[in-house]
Amino acid sequence: MKAFIKRTLFLLLILTTVLIILDLLSMTGPFRTPIAKLTGSESYISENVGADEIRPFIEKAAGADKTTVLFLGDSVCRQLFNRQQENAPGISMIGSNAAITPAGQYILAKTYIDAHPDTSDIFLFMRPDSLTKTFDTDYGYQYTVMPFAETGTIGELDPDTIEAMEKVYGKPFMNPVIVRMIDRSGPDRKLYLNLLKEYSTPYEPDPPLALADRYIGKIKALCDEKGIRLHLHPCPAFESGRDEDERLRADYEISELSRWFPDYFEEIVYYPDEESYDGVHFDRDLVKDEYILRVIRECYGSFLLAESGRISLADLYPGLYR
């Protein structure tokens, strides 16, 4: 019996060692993709997802350049503005993704302000439902934990926000070392994200816009302290989402945001569903410069025109008003 137990323990030790080696190899360049394919986790390490998507925006915000104006927002903001970066040398276009939540937008804004002492304006372009995003079990870990833990910027969030995230994602899994392991390994990310979705529950602030109130409020407080003008405007939307936007209006009207930006819902411009591929973003076949500049003019021309202390679209986008 003792011999059997010894052999069993020895085999378990070998198996554990092999699994550890395979796990470490799954994070390593030449072995990462083959092991991901072998374990059916290739889609979990696809490029431009999660930390790989957001990290460049954090680095751009922190980079020293001559810009004095920041454009932030969700993926519709990115679709509209980021492609215009070369036409607007005085503006840093950092439209990212709604999944980073308003807390992530705050980190980007603070990172930019810290690196750009001459900042004059911050424009935040977000759809109404983007204002409601929180720490969920679908995209939250990849977009709110991974990029900010890996870049050391997650510490900009309030302690009770970190605690709320730990309740959803587990405190050990917010450690930067563990985060990088999960980020690099397809099998680890697949296992963790599936367990997270199965056994955890999202953070649900009450009222629904509490997280937006807090972190857009923190952007506002920082802007007020630094003498920076803050602007919040809605992204263009599509007719199929009009009813949902109206439902969100009730939550907005009892939020702090409505006090600071009372005209937000009145500014929404709706486009035909045929011009969208998913009800949120513009159809990829339509997203050409002429079309996008027309949308920008229709949605934002009234307040981005040359005025005292405002930005001139005519200067930013040559030929826009010809």
pLDDT in single tens digits along all 322 residues of the chain: 555 454 555 455 554 554 455 455 555 666 667 766 667 667 767 667 788 899 999 999 999 899 999 999 999 999 999 988 887 788 999 999 999 999 999 999 999 999 999 999 999 999 999 999 999 999 999 999 999 999 999 999 999 999 999 999 999 999 999 999 888 887 888 889 999 999 999 999 999 999 999 999 999 999 999 999 999 999 999 999 999 999 999 999 999 999 999 999 999 999 999 999 999 999 988 888 888 888 988 998 766 654 334 445 555 544 433 3
Q: Quick one: tokens of 60?
A: 């751009």
pLDDT, position 184: 84
C-alpha distances out from residue 109 to 62, 100, 143, 148, 312, Å: 10, 13, 16, 13, 22
Start-to-end CA distance of the chain, whole Å, equals: 90
Question: Are 173 and 179 in contact, with CB atoms under 8 Å apart?
Answer: yes
Q: How far apart are CA 124 and CA 315, in angstroms?
A: 20
Q: How many whole angstroms separate alpha carbon 75 and alpha carbon 98?
A: 6
- Give the integer Cα–Cα distance in Å for 99 and 255: 20
Nearest to 189 by CA among 45, 38, 3, 18: 45
Q: Residue 81 in contact with residue 125, Cβ under 8 Å?
A: yes
Neighbours of 6 (CB within 10 A): 10
Residue 275 · residue 282 · CB < 8 Å: yes
CB atoms within 10 A of CB 136: 20
- Which residues neighbour 69 within 8 Å (Cβ) at sequence distance 6 or greater? 90, 91, 92, 119, 120, 121, 122, 123, 311
| pLDDT of res. 318 | 46
pLDDT of residue 308: 33
The model carries a pTM of 0.88
pLDDT value, residue 300: 87
